[in-house]
Amino acid sequence: MHPFVHAEATPDRLAIIMAGSGQVMTYAELEARSNQVAQLLRSHGLKRGDTVAIMMSNGIDYLPVCWGAQRAGLVYVAMSTKLTADEAGYILSDSGARIVFASAGLAAVVAGGDVLARYVTGGAVAGFDDLDTALAAMPVERIADESAGRDMLYSSGTTGRPKGVRGPLPEGPLDAGDGISGLVSVLYQFGPDMIYLSPAPLYHAAPLRYCMAVQRFGGTVVVMERFDPEAYLALIEKYRITHSQLVPTMFVRMLKLPEAARMAHDLSSFKVAIHAAAPCPVDVKHAMLEWWGPVIHEYYSATEGAGFTTINSQEWLAKPGSVGKAILGEVRVLGDDDSVLPAGQTGRIYFAGGPEFAYHNDAEKTASVMSAHGATFGDIGHVDADGYLFLTDRAAFMIISGGVNVYPQEAENALTLHPEVADVAVFGVPDAEMGEAVKAVVQPRDMSLAGPELEAELIAFVRARLSHVKCPKSIDFMAELPRHDTGKLYKRLLKDKYWAESAA
């Protein structure tokens, strides 16, 4: 369905609640606001297939802007709020965006480029028109030529320039279901009575698409301006949250709260907790299941959407560490010679027969991830005899030390469990004898503890759990690791620094 259906049937139902500010928007207000956005876009001459860009913090207008672009048949590019002006300028140019919507605090990042108009919310900014003023002058009626648009999201750029993932515009009526709506209705029991807590930035694929899916079903979305582990738990109790989606780093931060803080809130309304985006250490997930019970569902996919695996709590307890069985696309694990490997053998993961996609303006990059066996997200793993997929690591981060393949995810998972570790990255650094040596960079819980004593303690901690060849030979400390708000670690930035220093 589409929010306009719920605006007619249940106009006073809350569509959006902002967790921090307390601002709310009903379905009737969402309908009017998104119609005004669509009218504004048409007033600039934008037609089906044109592109707009959004550089906004989580706020009450984010989803109405997306729905306005969607019902105008446009491609809307939700941009990371962590971008530099140069990175944002590249995306504006590459995407062909005609109009930019920005939060006042981020407007300077998208002030360049050749666009028709720029609109700002949350304050006056030179060179930008006020969004509230512009929309107030627009009709609240639906545009005459509605058609379904879609997002085009750019990869987070952990391995180079971000790439826009572009699929075909949907055909058919505006209120026709989309692929994600069908998945979530079956897997996670989405429906009109759900109250969904979204703790992550809306510019990322999963938060944006899942929040919009909730509103297709007529549910209420509670949006956190930013994640805080104690506030997250309090919001579940306050709003009687039924569904949410998280990333494993959020699990870790909640588990490291004092027990009194973890147990202070009533979580009995919680029915479905979905997680993805990054590997979850087995011990962390065991601890979450013990705490929350069998409400946790995991999936494995990517912005490209070429495949999808899923696993519920009961299955995971029988197959700990698995990310599930494929329900979209067929998983194939390939060897170095591109042959399909049998069950149990580790290789590159491909999805065959999934939805089509292309990287915008980059046919070479599109071809580089495709083969006769489908598309790859760049991960390594294996499938067991029952068809369950297990991830080993990203192919780009594999370390070759003394001729042995070392996957740093294992050491990261082990170090995460240490009480003094807030965050960790493991990667290979140049080594004259071994080719590469295993290096860890740790964000300690208390930076004042960083030093040789903690380094020795952490190395011993990992060595008690893993073969010595997989363990870091040395550990450096940083006050904060470069981690994306969606949970992805910018490991390339750390690794490149060490390799550049070695070359120098």
Q: Which residue has the higher pLDDT, 14 or 365?
A: 14
**Residues 418-427 pLDDT 10s:** 999 999 999 9
User: What is the pLDDT at residue 103?
Assistant: 97
User: What is the pLDDT at residue 267?
Assistant: 97
Question: Measured between alpha carbons, how far is 330 from 342 in angstroms, rounded to an integer?
Answer: 14
Report the SS3 class of residue 222. Answer: strand
**Residues 417-470 pLDDT 10s:** 999 999 999 999 888 777 788 999 999 999 999 999 999 999 999 999 988 888
Mean pLDDT of 306-325: 94
User: What is the pLDDT at residue 160?
Assistant: 58
169, 197, 216 - which closes a domain = 169
Residues sharing a CB contact under 8 Å with residue 132, sequence separation 6 or more, in sequence order? 121
* Measured torsion, CA atoms of residues 365, 367, 369, 372, in degrees rounded to the nearest 10: 180
CA atoms within 13 A on the CB side of 288: 27
User: What is the pLDDT at residue 158?
Assistant: 46
Bridge partners (DSSP) listed for residue 307: none
Mean pLDDT of 231-251: 95
In Å, what is the CA distance from 192 to each residue of 244, 286, 504? 15, 31, 59
Per the domain annotation, does 38 fall within a domain? yes
Report the SS3 class of residue 121. Answer: strand
Spacing of C-alpha 80 from chain mean position: 11
Per the domain annotation, does 380 fall within a domain? no
112, 141, 169 - which closes a domain = 169
In the block, tokens 């949006």 appear at 223
Instruction: With a cut of 90, say whether residue 162 has pLDDT above it.
Output: no
Give the DSSP letter of residue 183.
Answer: H
Report the SS3 class of residue 408. Answer: coil
* Token pair for 452: 């040789």
Per the CB < 8 A criterion, the answer to whether 310 and 187 are in contact is yes
Per the domain annotation, does 374 fall within a domain? no
Residue of 323, 325, 315, 252 lying closest to 283 (CA atoms): 252
- Name, of 26-40, 72-86, 340-354, the range with top average pLDDT: 26-40
Confidence of residue 113 (pLDDT cuts 50, 70, 90): confident
* Token pair for 270: 């919680």
The pTM for the full model equals 0.84
Mean pLDDT of 309-315: 96
**Residues 70-105 pLDDT 10s:** 999 999 999 989 888 988 999 999 999 999 999 999
Q: At what angle do helices 409-416 and 282-292 cross, to 10 degrees?
A: 40
User: What is the pLDDT at residue 485?
Assistant: 66
Q: What does the mean pLDDT of the chain come to?
A: 90
User: What is the pLDDT at residue 409?
Assistant: 86
433, amino acid identity: E
Edge-to-edge strands of the sheet including 150-151? Answer: 129-130, 117-121, 99-103, 51-55, 75-78, 150-151
Per the domain annotation, does 100 fall within a domain? yes
Q: How many domains does the chain have?
A: 2
Per the domain annotation, does 363 fall within a domain? no
Report the SS3 class of residue 237. Answer: helix
| Domain of residue 129, CATH code | 3.40.50.980
Per the domain annotation, does 256 fall within a domain? no
169, 203, 226 - which closes a domain = 169
Q: At what angle do helices 27-43 and 62-71 cross, to 10 degrees?
A: 60
Mean pLDDT of 340-365: 85
Per the domain annotation, does 271 fall within a domain? no
Q: What percent of the chain clears pLDDT 90, i.e. is strictly above it?
A: 64
Structural domain of 69: 23-169
In Å, what is the CA distance from 257 to each residue of 109, 174, 227, 340? 35, 45, 14, 44
Per the domain annotation, does 41 fall within a domain? yes
Mean pLDDT of 351-363: 80
Tally the residues of the chain: 504
**Residues 477-500 pLDDT 10s:** 999 998 766 667 778 788 888 888
Instruction: With a cut of 60, say whether residue 159 has pLDDT above it.
Output: no
User: What is the pLDDT at residue 193?
Assistant: 95
Query: Which stretches within 408-478 are classed as H helix?
Result: 409-416, 452-463
| Domain of residue 412, CATH code | 3.30.300.30
Question: Measured between alpha carbons, how far is 362 from 343 in angstroms, rounded to an integer?
Answer: 34
Among the residue ranges 1-10, 136-145, 371-380, 453-462, the one predicted with the least confidence is: 371-380
Question: Measured between alpha carbons, how far is 457 from 187 in angstroms, rounded to an integer?
Answer: 43
